[in-house]
Chains A and B, each alone.
Chain A
């Protein structure tokens, strides 16, 4: 199995009426890794997951999980996968424990094994105290944890997590991140979709940026960041400083034009990292008579990648809105 990718998709196509949800999607997810599918609402992430999890038949192309075709060998694929969707897929009227036992038995565990596994998972997900309460009394974070526990009950080798932290508060989100890291340490392959750039950055070893139903960039988060210019220099000028003089003084260090924000107090420029860069920049600015309040060199974020790759598309108004929403939600989550 070592050479077989955990998930492979070749030119997947899916239409809903006149809308094209997938437009030739290609993916290769190595076994034992976390792979991030990053994209705005409507980019095709959920459709991709639904095709890979055998819920949806593609109109074109093919896909396999651990070497088994998702259409032809769907029942074999179902034995190896777990799925956690955007909404907790649980029976509201059953207790947390009954939900897990039910899913366990339907995942082909014996009744006894399902009960044992349910109790273990409730313990590990810190839900033992709530185990005999109906799910409709659970908080959002508890539901997500129970939902994730339900998708793990059959010990899947490949797990699909469709926006696992959308709508969660920061502490619930941090807990989900811990669980994801634990799963990967155990050897599970994870396909994670997210609108949150920091989530993909923190969790995924490789990321595919999806837009309009196809992959527009793929690589490790570091590779993607490098592709949009490596390091960024951020300088906050003193109140009376001359931004134009500062920009001129910075020209020898930068790889692209300097941009200024916030009444030109904050200037930003892509640079090539080198030893003593900050010292030299400060000397050059001092020589030009520019006073500096703050200076920082940081790596490009996936935000930068995302904006560079999708931001220029004028016709994709929906994407822009979705992206704005995603960013807004992200800010809420961080706050």
Chain B
């Protein structure tokens, strides 16, 4: 064994002194590749965005769907359902984000990253980008199952692209919420539980699966202002699907696309800097 450590570092083999943004992008890329490699080794980690949405779509379409009124039943409900499913399957990747962050902290990997001369925001950014890629897969799966059960895109291609873009922006904002949950909790189990507790009401007290008009009066404002309702309404409008929210006279129901953008940008502005702050000042 010779020169394990202190052999002089040849400056040509280091990236020190390069443009800061390029260094940040390189760090993000290196770490995103890491998450993708993990998915390739254990594809079952993708079941959140593959098998699960299929089961939920089929369950809602054929088990609950017949009993859910107010949309006109049958094919109408199938067309109504898919936009809500899109929101649910993207938002619910956030607990997975939290679990991944907690696990990296438990193994000490985050400590190692924090002791390296790398960009501090890169670890978290890479995590959210990897999760955005899984959300793209999730959105594709929901759309395919939807097409199979009779959901159709009745709007223009441009509107359809806008709908998917809004859904992914919305999902991406939620990954940063997941990062923050992961930074403050101590075990993957706790992260999973907390994610579940937060995302269950987020999904179900909304117009994702049933029109808000069917809820008791005191609950309606909660559901109407829920970002999940805005996303579902925006997608329904853009896809040209039944959208009972159009007759609800509150601002987010009348301007669902703008509401989704406001919610997503608002969450990013709050949770992304908070996550980086928590990461930089992690106590243990």
Q: Give me the interface of A with B, judged by CB distance under 8 Å.
A: 16, 50, 53-57, 75, 78-79, 81-83, 85-94, 98, 102-103, 105-110, 112-113, 116, 121, 124, 134, 150-152, 154-157, 159, 179, 182-183, 186-188
Contacts and interface: CB of A to CB of B under 8 A. Distances in A.
Interface of B: 1, 3-7, 9-10, 13-16, 23, 26-27, 30-31, 33-34, 37-38, 41-42, 107-109, 111-118, 281-284
Contacts of A82: 5, 115
A45 to B, nearest CB: 15
B1 A124 contact: yes
B107 A90 contact: yes
A85 B111 contact: yes
Contacts of B112: 83, 85, 89, 103, 150-151
A188 B6 contact: yes
B16 A157 contact: no
A141 B6 CA distance: 24
B84 to A, nearest CB: 33
A152 B115 CA distance: 12
B111 A89 contact: yes
A106 B27 contact: yes
Contacts of B108: 85-89
A89 B4 contact: no
Given A105-B26, A107-B116, A179 B4 contact: yes
B109 A91 contact: yes
Contacts of A102: 30-31, 33-34
Given A88-B108, A92-B107, A155 B6 contact: yes
A276 B277 CA distance: 68
Contacts of B283: 16, 56
7 tightest CB-CB pairs across the interface, nearest first? A113-B13, A89-B108, A89-B112, A78-B117, A79-B117, A83-B115, A188-B5
Contact of B37 (A94, A108, A112, A155): A94
A326 B42 CA distance: 39
A83 B5 contact: no
A59 to B, nearest CB: 11
Contacts of B34: 91, 94, 98, 102
Given A78-B115, A186-B3, A186-B6, A93 B30 contact: no
A103 B116 contact: yes
B13 A186 contact: no
18 contacts: A16-B283, A54-B115, A55-B111, A93-B37, A93-B38, A94-B38, A102-B31, A102-B34, A106-B27, A106-B31, A108-B14, A110-B14, A116-B13, A154-B117, A155-B5, A159-B5, A186-B7, A187-B6
